[in-house]
Amino acid sequence: MRLLFLGDMVGKTGRTAVWNRLPGLVSDLKLDFVIVNGENAAGGFGITEDIFLETINAGADVVTTGNHVWDQKEAVVFCERHDQFLRPANYPAGTPGRGSGLYYARNGARILVANIMGRVFMHPELDDPFKSAEAILDACPLKEQADAIVFDFHAEATSEKQCFGHFVDGRASFVVGTHTHVPTADAQILNGGTAYMSDAGMCGDYDSSLGMEKEEPLNRFISKMPKGRFEAASGPATICGVGVEISDATGLAEKIAPLRLGPRLAETIPDFWR
């Protein structure tokens, strides 16, 4: 099974690049399932229902989020209407929306996708991500109720991301980190067969500070005083993500490699999809 994960869409340039390129990627690479993190898609802060629907129409099967999930207030309402929209599963009981779901891939496989948020250097501090993941895995074990299991672990600290990967190793197909907007060089298959990458990077303008126009972040580092608002950068976007091949027999990963398409970073498509 071929699965593609795309990192945080940032602003109009990031989401437009995904919408323009994703239909061709699904067709050309014969993708069975696509997950896109959309928490920064609306001007860099949150996501609207229209953006969510456009991302699904472009070929995404699930849209995940993170700490910016509620920045657009309408998300509190529309999250209840769409099973393909996920907020972090470790929000307290009673929070609107859902943190995980079971979906069908194009090849008929059952894919469990869960969105979890880390707690180190993160706000708000949510419930224990490890306990939340354990409950999700207990309710829908790999190769019993699910043919593949994917975690979007939205977190700041690489150590927390790596420990989470080891925690679910052999029980999940793929763990991918989001939030830091910088693609890491550690795509690998862990000892138990779980594909892992600390951060998928972002889909946005890399002539920026994490997808935001660089002048105001730079000013705040130098002067410690705000001069204006953070605004999403509007230059040409680079799409960053990661591709995974998952065994139909075991539900564990067989191959993993980054995908990068755009003007700033060296372009790469997983060799096993060429």
Range of the domain at 130: 2-208+237-273
What are the tokens at 111? 């894919």
Provide φ and ψ at 31, rounded to 5°: -75, 140
d(CA 149, CA 246): 10
Q: Tell whether 224 is covered by a domain.
A: no
pLDDT in tens, 3-27: 999 999 999 999 999 999 999 999 9
d(CA 56, CA 198): 25
Give the pLDDT of residue 111.
98
d(CA 111, CA 207): 35
Q: Binding-site residues for Fe cation, please?
A: 8, 39-40, 67, 154, 179, 181
Q: How many domains does the chain have?
A: 1
Q: Tell whether 57 is covered by a domain.
A: yes
Q: What is the pTM of this model?
A: 0.98
Q: Tell whether 230 is covered by a domain.
A: no
Q: Tell whether 226 is covered by a domain.
A: no
Q: Tell whether 221 is covered by a domain.
A: no
Task: State how beta strands 195-197 and 202-203 pair.
Answer: unpaired
What are the tokens at 102? 């079971």
Residue 150, phi-psi category: left (phi > 0), alpha (psi -120 to 50), beta (remainder): beta
Which entry of 68, 82, 123, 166 is annotated as an active-site residue? Answer: 68
Q: Tell whether 215 is covered by a domain.
A: no
Give the pLDDT of residue 274.
83
Q: Binding-site residues, please?
A: 8, 39-40, 67, 154, 179, 181
Q: Find the helix packing angle between 158-168 and 129-139, rounded to 10°.
A: 30
Q: Tell whether 190 is covered by a domain.
A: yes
Is 123 in the active site? no
63: CB partners within 8 A, 6+ apart: 35, 36, 37, 38, 47, 52, 55, 56, 84, 85, 86
Tens digit of pLDDT per residue, the chain (274 long)? 999 999 999 999 999 999 999 999 999 999 999 999 999 999 999 999 999 999 999 999 999 999 999 999 999 999 999 999 999 999 999 999 999 999 999 999 999 999 999 999 999 999 999 999 999 999 999 999 999 999 999 999 999 999 999 999 999 999 999 999 999 999 999 999 999 999 999 999 999 999 999 999 999 999 999 999 999 999 999 999 999 999 999 999 999 999 999 999 999 999 999 8
Q: Tell whether 152 is covered by a domain.
A: yes
Q: State the greatest distance between any 2 C-alpha atoms of the chain, in Å, as a whole number.
A: 57
**Strand ranges (E), the chain:** 2-6, 8-9, 33-37, 62-64, 100-104, 110-117, 148-154, 174-178, 188-189, 195-197, 202-203, 239-246, 253-261
CATH number for the domain including 38? 3.60.21.10
